[in-house]
Amino acid sequence: MSRLRGRAGLTSRGVLLFLALFVLAATAVYPLREHVAQQARIDQLRAKQAALKAANQRLERERERLNDPAYVEQLAKRDFHVVEPGERPWLLTGTPPADEPAPPAARPAGKVSWYQRAWHWLTGWAS
């Protein structure tokens, strides 16, 4: 019986080994957590960089289009209502006509007192 007890119990070497492994694992947690956080930040910055690159390309195309006099004229007419000599400017105001008649306006609900709302909320009963 004493032979089994000696083998089953931890020796001082076993305890020391266990403590050394625990210390190594505990000291590795913070750098590992920082590594994971930095990887997430790197992925986030890469996505932002890709979005900025796409925006730059879009703006570069727009800059090239602005070198075209016909496009600039089109923008001036559309945005600033510029007309050439001899043209008549037209400015439409108001709302465009609807294809379908507008639905009737909803009738405003009558005022319900707080105790009626509380009663309806408690009972789940709607009138």
DSSP string, 5-45: HHHHSPPHHHHHHHHHHHHHHHHHHHHHHHHHHHHHHHHHH
> pLDDT in tens for each of the 127 residues of the chain?
445 445 567 899 999 999 999 998 888 888 888 999 999 999 999 999 999 999 999 999 999 999 999 999 999 988 988 888 998 888 788 887 777 776 776 666 677 788 888 888 788 765 5
pTM for this predicted structure: 0.45
Structure tokens at 114: 């707080």
Residue 58, φ and ψ in degrees, nearest 5: -65, -45
